[in-house]
Amino acid sequence: MSLRAESHAAASTLKKIAADMSNIIESLDTRELHFEGEEVDSEVLNDPKGTVCIPFSAIYHTHGFKEPDTQVYLTGCPVRVRVLEVERFTSTKKVPSPNVYTIELTHGEFTWQVKRKFKHFQEFHRELLRYKAFVRIPIPTRSHTVRRQSIKRGEPRQMPSLPHTAESTVREEHFSSRRKQLEDYLTKILKMPMYRNYHGTMEFIGVSQLSFIHDLGPKGIEGLIMKRSGGHRIPGLNCCGQGRMCYRWSKRWLVVKDSFLLYMKPDSGAIAFVLLVDKEFNIKIGQKETETKYGLQIDNLSRSLILKCNSYRHAQWWRQGIDEFIRKHGKDFLTDHRFGSYAAVQENTLAKWYVNAKWYFEDVANAMEAAKEEIFITDWWLSPEIFMKRPVVEGNRWRLDCILKRKAQQGVRIFVMLYKEVELALGINSEYSKRTLMHLHPNIKVMRHPDHVSSSVYLWAHHEKLVIVDQSVAFVGGIDLAYGRWDDDEHRLTDVGSVKRMAAVKSVSTTNLASAAELSEHVPLHSQALSPESHLFQNNADDAPDTSKMKGVGKTKKFSRFSIYKHLHKHGMHHADSVSSIDSESNKGSIRSLKTGVGELLGETRFWHGKDYCNFVFKDWVQLDKPFADFIDRYTTPRMPWHDISSVVHGKAARDVARHFIQRWNFTKIMKPKYRSLSYPFLLPKSQQTANELNYQVPEAVHATVQVIRSAADWSAGIKYHEESIHNAYVSVIENSKHYIYIENQFFISCADDKVVWNKIGDAIAQRILKAHRENKRFRVYVVIPLLPGFEGDISTGGGNALQAIMHFNYRTMCRGENSILGQLKTEIGDKWINYISFCGLRTYAELEGRLVTELIYVHSKLLIADDNTVIIGSANINDRSMLGKRDSEMAIIVQDTETVPSVMDGEDYSAGKFAQSLRLRCFRVVLGGSDLSPEHQDPVCDKFFKEVWISTAARNATIFDKVFRCLPSDQVNNLTQLRDFINKPKLATDDPAKAAEELKKIRGFLVQFPFRFLEEEYLLPSVGTKESMVPMEVWT
């Protein structure tokens, strides 16, 4: 091959590499490509201010250690060398004792140490001489050509020379000069790009592609080591069980960081395992402990990793290096924290609460839009086609799948973990969600877990609802990104989508909500599609909207005429891909008014499209692969409103939430063979040291003390001991509360009998009330739960078996039997319990097609507030499934206020926490009506509020609903015979709608008393022979 052809080939190869690896080439130091034979002194050429950081996303682009185009060092930043000390080891053998040099290296913000003997320097020097000779040979391979190209323009200078004196002849007084000689040698080598970038040099000074990434924290010890397979705590992950003969040894590059260790395959650069530092983290050395000569055993809750060193002293260096580094930088991870949590209490954390999904979805969408590197999502159920901002004014821009696709195209890595349901029991179709998301872009990776057969987990679920952006902002709470969840404080029952149904057209439909890119289907929901040109209202009186048919919650508002097409033009969106979903406001003022009321919405505005309009007690979801087709007739069936709570935290607490996600992801990756491929990468936790460098902050967050708590176990997170820190936190907060407890929860199954139910939350409530009674102090407990469990079933015939089973355990906790809260209280204080505790549900009403309708509001929250200064928000229900740790996996936060506002408690001045009090006032405003500033809501303990506002509002509302609608559940129905009579009696709503409407005007808010006596004479557990009776009792508790 001619020289010209060779140079042309080399140039074209470089072009290809530049195209493939543009991001790495851009950050390469150009001086390294034009080495002119001069010693390049980067200290002179570049000041540290010009240093270019390696982005965190580099962890997803690691290369084989011998590949020439690998970026390891910070661009424009020197590596400084100091030989700190010489250790002289005495030896029992007759050979001369070696001296060990401790070398400290500094590169930008990173400082680390390596220990090397003089013989290591000699081996290194010989290797560099071989490399120098090798580079001169024109081998026609891509990697070699690139290597030669990078140093082509002139020969390197003379290599620095090592001192020739044998180590054994150096006297102690000459050590300092020997140190200086070695320091100079290494300094010169590291200033010459040809040698600095050689993999042997990197190995000698202990650096890799993951050494200098700012967000991975300080640099610890690194190096090549032999690793033994197996050692996983979870059965089934080790080949052929735990047999000693059944393992293999592999060469790996071990990297130690402040809160984890990992090892990489040197050939490919792939991260092959991540071991998180936790309370069980421990290092042992020695043949006896590790069953390996010169062995090193590293334990944590998930694995016992065995490494092999080449001498006992080498093993000791590793142990000391890892141990000192972790104790210095990662001590928070080594201990058990309050409530037995894996996460430390994080002070001065920015936090914010959400009541209902409208504002939560908006903030999640905005945070995702601001993502730079990673988005983590885990949900019990995820619906890719939900709209995150409503009403929809920008086509599909804020649809979840469109946001994720857009971010993936921008280079953000998106990792989603979904609960893999037992398909016979649940219809949430996680397989469809996974397929839909994975088809959007290669940067989106989705895992489902558990595999019920291989993991033998049939009963338990992954129940967390988390969204984590760049490991810096973490949303934690009870709201899945799924159908039926979006709601606001109005809890509307109707969403027919047009102000008035035209005589000629039954309804104006939702057209093509799916963008052409992902879904070509065109789903008209009713008889005729809306064309962009159509004017919903012409200027004639006949088509004027009939406001009486658009009561949101029985409130009438004024409408103004508009044209949807003019409106599209006004907002520059007449080419939007989702015409009917464009918000049809006539002016911007009414967009703002959405925050307080819906009445000013007009025309074809829909909040709930297709499957999002639901009433799951009436009918469970079907055909989820047709997202925009209705499955309930919205002209005859009201939707079931959804009341829920969530939160967001920043900084170190967000890092803790991300760590839980990473632990679960990495565990699932090694657990399921299909995820072991490189296309599903291991995730790495960012360092707590960089946690407060926030690129994005959710608006209106306040500073507070936050701790992350969870329910996790072997099956869910791969850990040896289960964690039930949420349960411990609930019990502790209740026991230590001074004035009141406010609880909203989807379930209320507690009061341990140590046979069927084990969690102690109900007992803690009863004991706390009894303590207040004995001390003659005021104490209030507010419990808000759904009037019926969220299972499909016709309650007018008694409901289904599943619905009744949950009712049985809810009632057993509240008021039935001696173990119940009221049972425990009545034994000691008789009827005085009524001064301490109140159980309520939520209900609302509306007018639908000229008929008055009512429906319960489904309380899905998982919230506890105590004393206006402590809050627990999460995904954990009050039942054994969520609380015991060994069952469902859950995530929550406990927030304790540090910023206070003046308030009143039990008639006396009180410093209330900003976070807790504002959340309580919003909850009270939603359930009682009124405003956040209602003076009567300020003091949650005084008699005036408890009896004259809370109890009386709940009683009055319940009485009116019973009178107008004869609602179920009801205290008038104690058995199934009475139930049949009850539903056949006439209702005021149908007999005299005008009088009924007058009665309904007296209703305030949504609060209704919980009916204690409903079906109390019936045995509600599944009867023998039904499929529900074959299910273990733990499923219901």
**What distance in Å separates the CA atoms of residue 807 and residue 749, rounded to the nearest whole number?**
9
Is residue 115 within 8 Å of residue 88, measured between CB atoms?
no
Question: For residue 247, how many C-alpha atoms fall within 13 Å in the half-sphere facing its CB?
Answer: 20
User: Is residue 777 annotated as a catalytic residue, yes or no?
Assistant: no
Write the DSSP string, 832-873.
GGGGTEEEEEEEEEEEETTEEEEEE-EE--EEEEETTTEEEE
**What distance in Å separates the CA atoms of residue 640 and residue 638, rounded to the nearest whole number?**
7
Is residue 270 within 8 Å of residue 334, measured between CB atoms?
no
| Burial of residue 176 (number of CB atoms within 10 Å: 0-12, 13-18, 19+) | exposed
Q: Give the residue with greater pLDDT, 664 vs 84.
A: 664
The residues that bridge with 991 in the sheet, in sequence order, are: none
The confidence score (pLDDT) of residue 627 equals 75
Lowest mean pLDDT among 39-48, 528-537, 874-883: 528-537
User: Is residue 470 annotated as a catalytic residue, yes or no?
Assistant: yes
> What SS3 class is residue 86?
strand
Percent of the chain with pLDDT over 70: 78
Q: For residue 491, which of 199, 979, 854 has the smallest C-alpha distance? A: 854
The confidence score (pLDDT) of residue 511 equals 36
**What distance in Å separates the CA atoms of residue 693 and residue 892, rounded to the nearest whole number?**
23
The confidence score (pLDDT) of residue 90 equals 58
- Within 602-676, where are the H helices? 651-671
pLDDT for 50 beyond 60: no
pLDDT for 258 beyond 50: yes
pLDDT for 836 beyond 90: yes
Q: Give the residue with greater pLDDT, 67 vs 139.
A: 67
User: Is residue 488 annotated as a catalytic residue, yes or no?
Assistant: no
**What distance in Å separates the CA atoms of residue 589 and residue 490, rounded to the nearest whole number?**
19
Count other C-beta atoms under 10 Å from residue 914's C-beta.
17
Q: Which of these is catalytic: 29, 299, 470, 897?
A: 470
pLDDT category of residue 131 using cuts at 50, 70 and 90: confident
Which tokens hold the place of 967? 């609602």
pLDDT for 542 beyond 80: no
User: Is residue 337 annotated as a catalytic residue, yes or no?
Assistant: no
pLDDT in tens, 403-436: 999 999 999 999 999 998 876 667 778 889 999 9
**What distance in Å separates the CA atoms of residue 642 and residue 495, rounded to the nearest whole number?**
14
Which tokens hold the place of 329? 């930088």
Find how far residue 25's CA is from the centre of its chain: 34
| Burial of residue 1000 (number of CB atoms within 10 Å: 0-12, 13-18, 19+) | buried
Q: For residue 929, which of 956, 904, 910 has the smallest C-alpha distance? A: 956
Q: Give the residue with greater pLDDT, 242 vs 329.
A: 329
- Average pLDDT for the chain: 81
pLDDT in tens, 683-693: 999 999 999 99
Q: Which of these is catalytic: 862, 888, 897, 939?
A: 862
Kindly state the average pLDDT of the residues 765-793.
Answer: 93
Strand runs (DSSP E) across 286-344, as ranges?
295-299, 304-308
pLDDT for 579 beyond 50: no
Q: For residue 891, which of 644, 653, 652 has the smallest C-alpha distance? A: 653
pLDDT for 592 beyond 50: no
pLDDT in tens, 350-409: 999 999 999 999 999 999 999 999 999 999 999 999 999 998 888 899 999 999 999 999
Q: Residues 6 or more apart from 874 whose CB is under 8 A from it?
A: 476, 477, 478, 709, 726, 862, 890, 891, 892, 893
Q: For residue 879, which of 772, 979, 775, 748 has the smallest C-alpha distance? A: 748
Write the DSSP string, 655-713.
HHHHHHHHHHHHHHHHHSGGG-STTSPPP-PPPGGGTT--S---TT-EEEEEEEEEEE-
Q: Residues 6 or more apart from 853 whose CB is under 8 A from it?
A: 493, 494, 638, 845, 846, 847
pLDDT for 541 beyond 60: no
The confidence score (pLDDT) of residue 755 equals 86
Q: For residue 437, which of 416, 422, 451, 423 has the smallest C-alpha distance? A: 416
pLDDT in tens, 468-497: 999 999 999 999 999 999 999 999 998 876
What radius of gyration, in Å, describes the C-alpha atoms of the chain? 33
Is residue 785 within 8 Å of residue 810, measured between CB atoms?
yes
pLDDT for 500 beyond 70: no
Determine phi and psi for 303, rounding to 5 degrees. -155, 155
**What distance in Å separates the CA atoms of residue 644 and residue 310, rounded to the nearest whole number?**
58
Kindly state the average pLDDT of the residues 934-944.
Answer: 91
Is residue 807 within 8 Å of residue 788, measured between CB atoms?
yes
The confidence score (pLDDT) of residue 238 equals 56
**What distance in Å separates the CA atoms of residue 390 and residue 497, rounded to the nearest whole number?**
13
Question: Long-range contacts for 267-272 (Cβ within 8 Å, ≥24 apart)?
Answer: 267/64, 267/65, 267/66, 268/63, 268/64, 268/678, 269/62, 269/63, 269/64, 269/65, 269/67, 269/70, 269/209, 270/62, 270/678, 271/59, 271/62, 271/681, 271/682, 271/684, 272/682
pLDDT in tens, 306-354: 999 888 888 899 999 999 999 999 899 999 899 999 999 999 999 999 9
Is the torsion defined by CA of 875, 876, 882, 885 positive or negative? positive
Lowest mean pLDDT among 84-98, 415-429, 666-680: 84-98
Report the predicted TM-score, pTM, of the whole model to 2 decimal places.
0.85
Q: Which of these is catalytic: 219, 463, 500, 760?
A: 463
Q: Residues 6 or more apart from 887 whose CB is under 8 A from it?
A: 459, 460, 711, 713, 880, 881, 1034
Q: Residues 6 or more apart from 120 whose CB is under 8 A from it?
A: 204
**What distance in Å separates the CA atoms of residue 332 and residue 616, rounded to the nearest whole number?**
44
Find how far residue 791's CA is from the centre of its chain: 26
Is the torsion defined by CA of 199, 202, 207, 212 positive or negative? negative
Determine phi and psi for 312, rounding to 5 degrees. -65, -40
pLDDT for 125 beyond 80: yes
pLDDT in tens, 694-749: 999 999 999 999 999 999 999 999 998 999 999 999 999 999 999 999 999 999 99
Find how far residue 691's CA is from the centre of its chain: 16
Which tokens hold the place of 477? 């709470």
The confidence score (pLDDT) of residue 368 equals 98
pLDDT for 517 beyond 50: no
Q: For residue 755, which of 1024, 1023, 1037 has the smallest C-alpha distance? A: 1037
The residues that bridge with 643 in the sheet, in sequence order, are: 859
Is residue 254 within 8 Å of residue 222, measured between CB atoms?
yes
**What distance in Å separates the CA atoms of residue 114 and residue 81, rounded to the nearest whole number?**
11
pLDDT for 1008 beyond 80: yes
pLDDT category of residue 578 using cuts at 50, 70 and 90: very low
Question: For residue 581, how many C-alpha atoms fall within 13 Å in the half-sphere facing its CB?
Answer: 29
Q: Angle formed by the axes of helices 801-814 and 821-829, to 10°?
A: 30
Kindly state the average pLDDT of the residues 455-477.
Answer: 90
User: Is residue 465 annotated as a catalytic residue, yes or no?
Assistant: yes
The confidence score (pLDDT) of residue 91 equals 55
**What distance in Å separates the CA atoms of residue 142 and residue 770, rounded to the nearest whole number?**
80
